[in-house]
Amino acid sequence: MSGSRKKFDTLCIHAGQTTDPATGAVMPPIYTSTTFEHEAFGQAGEYAYSRGANPTRGALERCVAELEGGVRGFAYASGMAATAAVLELLEAGSHVIAQQAIYGGTLRLFNQVRRHSAGLDFTFVDFFDLQRVESLLRPETRLIWVETPTNPLLDVVDLTAVAELAHRHDVLVCVDNTFASPILQRPLERACDIVMHSSTKYLGGHSDVLGGINVVADPELGRQIAAITSGVGSVAGPFDAYLVLRGIKTLALRMERHESNAQAVAAWLETRECVQSVRYPGLPSHPQHALARSQMDGFGGVVSFQLDGDLKAVGEVLEKLQVFTMAESLGGVESLVGHPATMSHSNIPAEQRRELGINDNLIRLSVGIEHVDDLIADLDQALAR
């Protein structure tokens, strides 16, 4: 692991050859121009109109593609726009298999938007039983959607096994890699076809930019997504692309601190009597801990735990926290605390949430890069009764 760590420390700085060729600027300029002069009549250059290609966005796309080990990247205005672009690959009537307990926004897009507007059919299943997943494949199945670690329960899915299953049936695999980042997990190296990020989270890393990224392993698939992206136009603006690219420069350093803090916080939470259970892939108690160790280069910065108390008790704890900020999102340098049942997964009916294990007493921590002693002290005072 130490060798790959050193490599990715360097790649975060230099991936994608982002030095500006025109001026030698070590950070690419923010090209705000929407249109570019043609080289001659009937001869457009690499850049013609910014929806199709922009130099600042291109620098970000090359950088993340190299970090993920892909051939081409695409930057979008949000993580949901990146997810929607993958669905645009599918013909009306196509079937998609996805995990049960995934990000609430993804579930909403699948169930409430694309099921109706695009005529797609979705089946949600527990990915720990791959025989069951395979039994649900149909002739019209075109995509398997994977999220690992999942939001908010931090389940870990065997990417190699899913890719092998999918490719036996000529089905694409897309992996939401937001929680891990390419520093800790690279799904394309495990034969998956597309990797997606909400770059709002760890890639940007400072809670100041909205964005999404897709990276593909196959050039032909890249050409298809490029046509979709240009046609739909849900691309990242140049300033947003610049902010994400700037954030990536410190990604390796930040992920190291996020992980070490999260590991310590998770271990501490396991010692508290008022905590029923803790979910963190780096803990031996996690049901997929061995898989996480073999598949990932680290365990990330998100910790979820169930409080021994009701919804009122959860609210009291969250309101007492002082270093952790109660807010949506994750992956920034600051520590955040969220309540999935009333935040990220509030659009899911309560009965369905309970079936997925997203109970009212579940709390999700996005562990930041502050000093770990201050984080634990903050949790200690908030949990004191």
Q: Are residues 238 and 350 in the same domain?
A: no
Can you read off the two tokens belonging to residue 87?
A: 């669905």
The domain in which residue 297 lies consists of: 253-383
In this predicted structure, the answer to whether residue 180 has a pLDDT above a threshold of 90 is yes
Residues above pLDDT 70, as percent of the chain = 98
Cα(280)–Cα(201) distance, rounded to whole angstroms? 18
Give tens-digit pLDDT for 8-38.
899 999 998 777 888 889 888 999 999 999 9
Domain boundary among 203, 226, 248: 248
Cα 47 off chain centre by: 29
Domain boundary among 222, 248, 274: 248
Beta bridge partners of 336: 325, 366
Can you read off the two tokens belonging to residue 112?
A: 């409430």
| Residues with Cβ within 8 Å of residue 361, at least 6 apart in sequence | 276, 306, 307, 308, 309, 310, 311, 313, 314
Q: Are residues 263 and 238 in the same domain?
A: no
Q: Are residues 241 and 342 in the same domain?
A: no
CATH number at residue 160: 3.40.640.10
Mean pLDDT of 160-188: 98
- 379 sits in the region (left: phi over 0; alpha: psi -120 to 50; else beta) called alpha
Cα(170)–Cα(143) distance, rounded to whole angstroms? 9
Mean pLDDT of 62-81: 97
Is 108 designated active site?
Answer: no
In this predicted structure, the answer to whether residue 5 has a pLDDT above a threshold of 60 is no
Q: Are residues 303 and 233 in the same domain?
A: no
Q: Are residues 281 and 234 in the same domain?
A: no
Q: Looking at residue 346, what is its pLDDT?
A: 84
Domain boundary among 248, 267, 290: 248
62, 142, 158, 176: the active-site residue: 176
Of residues 94, 169, 155, 168, the one with CA closest to residue 127 = 155
Q: In the sheet where 212-216 sits, what is the strand order?
A: 72-76, 212-216, 194-198, 172-176, 141-147, 95-99, 121-125
Mean pLDDT of 59-75: 97
Neighbours of 140 (CB within 10 A): 13
Q: Looking at residue 173, what is its pLDDT?
A: 98
Q: Are residues 243 and 259 in the same domain?
A: no
Distances (CA, A) of 297 to 2, 220, 327: 9, 29, 28
Q: Are residues 94 and 172 in the same domain?
A: yes
Q: Looking at residue 264, what is its pLDDT?
A: 98
Q: Looking at residue 84, what is its pLDDT?
A: 97
Q: Looking at residue 18, what is its pLDDT?
A: 74
Q: Looking at residue 6, what is its pLDDT?
A: 52
Residues above pLDDT 90, as percent of the chain = 87
Which SS3 state, helix, strand or coil, does residue 268 take?
helix
Neighbours of 168 (CB within 10 A): 10
103, 202, 242, 280: the active-site residue: 103
5, 20, 47, 51: the active-site residue: 51
Q: Looking at residue 1, what is its pLDDT?
A: 39
Q: Looking at residue 115, what is its pLDDT?
A: 87
Longest dimension (CA), the chain: 75
Amino acid identity, position 314: V
Give tens-digit pLDDT for 84-122.
999 999 999 999 999 988 999 999 999 999 988 889 999
Give tens-digit pLDDT for 227-284.
999 999 999 999 999 999 999 999 999 999 999 999 999 999 999 999 999 999 999 9
From first CA to last CA, the distance across the chain in angstroms is: 41
Q: Looking at residue 4, what is its pLDDT?
A: 45
Mean pLDDT of 198-222: 98
Q: Are residues 214 and 269 in the same domain?
A: no
Q: Are residues 297 and 359 in the same domain?
A: yes
Q: Are residues 35 and 148 in the same domain?
A: yes
Pairing of strands 141-147, 212-216: unpaired
Is 103 designated active site?
Answer: yes
Q: Are residues 227 and 301 in the same domain?
A: no
CATH number at residue 336: 3.90.1150.10
Neighbours of 290 (CB within 10 A): 11
142, 186, 201, 364: the active-site residue: 201
What's the number of domains the chain is made of?
2
Can you read off the two tokens belonging to residue 103?
A: 């990000």
- How many CA within 13 A on the CB side of residue 302? 26
Cα(360)–Cα(341) distance, rounded to whole angstroms? 6
* pLDDT band, residue 322 (cuts 50/70/90): very high
Q: Looking at residue 383, what is its pLDDT?
A: 98
* pLDDT band, residue 353 (cuts 50/70/90): confident
Cα(362)–Cα(277) distance, rounded to whole angstroms? 9
Cα(135)–Cα(256) distance, rounded to whole angstroms? 40
Q: Looking at residue 3, what is its pLDDT?
A: 43
What rounded mean pLDDT belongs to the chain? 95
Cα(174)–Cα(141) distance, rounded to whole angstroms? 13
Q: Are residues 98 and 241 in the same domain?
A: yes
Contact 265, 363 (CB under 8 A): no
